[in-house]
Structure 1
Amino acid sequence: MLATLRRGARRPSPIVVGVTTPNEAAAPDPAVPDPAPMTPQQYGVGARFTLSVYDSDYVAIILGALAAADPSGLTLETNDISTFVAGAEQRVVAYVLDVVAGAARSGAHLSASILLSRGCPGELQCALPPGTAALAADPVSLEATGVRARAHWSLYPLLDAAASPDSAPADHMAPIYAAIERAKAEGVYSGSDHYATRLDGDLAAVLQTAANAWIGVGRRVQHVVTHLTVSVNSPSPIRD
């Protein structure tokens, strides 16, 4: 049975329901400031290195080099295996340079194993979830030391399969090849060896090339690691 509206009766007012579109819902509130960018420590920027000196006076050389390097703005932890350094990229790499160069000026043959890491989701000093947006950093600039160094260098963009397509290159070798080309342009490329690229030049130039490749890839890839084995004052003949 159909209901009828009596003559003269008031029609009910329509009910208006507000609808929020997805774009409106996602629009940021201009009154709310963006969250502050992560600090290098929060992002897990740091280094771990081991200095090996082949001289009977190795203890004094190593401890003297560590004591002479400027630790300002850094977190340092040294144990029986290696030294951990955390802080901004420029300060971290400059500190490692100072320690290695200081020991090298003794004239003793030495080697240094240097690992630089940023954006590691498993790092102890931070708690980055996988897929965190890559944090850009300025390139480092290091003053020449007058110390010639040779190094085996490897670069590892640690891409996550779950990363969004626009956050990182699909081919992990592309940034590695680009970094090698930059090393050639900077004049420190010396050749390729098994599992590594060979660098040769002033210690500062060698570390700067490796560090800036690490930072450059890190503009698009969250977790990036680079590793160097550096040799200074070696008595072995060079056969490049």
Structure 2
Amino acid sequence: MFSGAQVSLYPMTDDFVGVITGALAALDPYRERLRIETDDISTLIVGPPEVLFPALRDLFSAAAATGRHCVLSAAISRGCPGEPDDEICATPLLGGPREPLETRKDAALAEVARAPDKATPTAAQFSLYVMGTGDHMDEIYGCIDFLKRSGVFGRSKNFCTRLDGDAGAVFAAIEAAFCRFGPPEGHVTIDLTASANSPTPR
């Protein structure tokens, strides 16, 4: 299995370098279980979902704690047939037979309920893509049903779903969508944009 994300962080401030470099310290507790590679466009973060998503959450929350308008953009993928397996991505979350959809929805709701409070009001939109299966729309509709019951559902939008809530619950919901829907070892991707401290009124 290979799982990871290409991530870009955009603080809307003249001191964007300071905000980004300061926020990177939030990744320190996770570095031993992740492979991180940065270039001038994005940062690749490779590792198991149970480490990857908390790392993304804490990176975003640290940047948002500055009070500046911050946006995180990420392309997240697991099980891509074009990527080699990587031992660092080994996880008990992905593997074995696929449980019934209702069982997976209940597990996803429990994961959101356990999410830590990061004191970071967050707006996010994301799209879930389940690749290579004939029942991909069943999986996507199941995920949407879970999201509507998650406590962070904002609204449906064209091509994506909006979430609103604390960063802890929002990123837990996105992690659950990534891990609980689609074949356990199949190819699943997420296109994510998260925003905090936006000056734009709803």
TM-score by length of 2: 0.82
* Structure 1 unmatched runs, 5+: 1-42, 127-133, 160-167
Paired position in structure 1 for 2:36: 76
* Aligned 8 A contact 2:54 2:171 in 1: no
* Structure showing the higher helix proportion among its residues: 2
Residues 81, 205 of structure 1: alpha-carbon distance in 2 compared, 3 angstrom cutoff: same
Cα displacement string for residues 19-64 of structure 1 (whole angstroms, at most 9, x for unaligned residues): xxxxxxxxxxxxxxxxxxxxxxxx1111121100001111011011
Aligned AA (1:94): P
2:143 is equivalent to residue 179 of structure 1: yes
Question: Residues of 1 paired with 2:182 and 2:2: CA distance?
Answer: 12
Give the RMSD, CA atoms, in angstroms. 2.1
What is the CA-CA distance between 1:135 and the residue it aligns to? 2.7
- Within a 5 Å distance, the mapping from 1:140-179 to structure 2 comes to 142-159=115-132, 168=133, 170-179=134-143
Whole-Å separation in 2 of the counterparts to 1:189 and 1:87: 27
Using the alignment, how far apart are the partners of 1:175 and 1:107 within structure 2? 37
Find out whether 1:94 has 2:51 as its counterpart: no
Letter in 1 for 2:56: V
Q: Structure 1 residue aligned with 2:166, among 196, 202, 206?
A: 202
CA distance in 2, matches of 1:207, 1:227: 13
2:29 corresponds to 1:56: no
Deviation at 1:110, TM superposition (A): 0.9
Q: Trace 1:1-240 onto structure 2 (pairs within 5 A).
A: 43-69=1-27, 70=29, 71-123=31-83, 135=95, 142-159=115-132, 168=133, 170-220=134-184, 222-238=186-202
Deviations 1:132-188 (A, max 9, x none): xx73599766422010111111000011xxxxxxxx5x2311111111111111111
Deviation at 1:227, TM superposition (A): 1.7
Deviation sequence 1:71-104 (CA, Å, 0-9, x none): 2311111111111111111111111111100000
Task: Tell me the TM-score normalized by structure 1.
Answer: 0.70
SS in 1 for 2:56: helix
Gaps of 5+ in 2: 87-93, 99-106
What is the alpha-carbon distance in structure 1 between the residues aligned to residue 137 and residue 42 of structure 2? 30
Determine the C-alpha separation between the residues in 1 that align with 2:70 and 2:84.
30
Q: Distance in 1 between matches of 2:40 and 2:182?
A: 30
Partner SS state of residue 72, structure 1: helix
Cα distance in 2, alignment partners of residues 181 and 206 from structure 1: 15
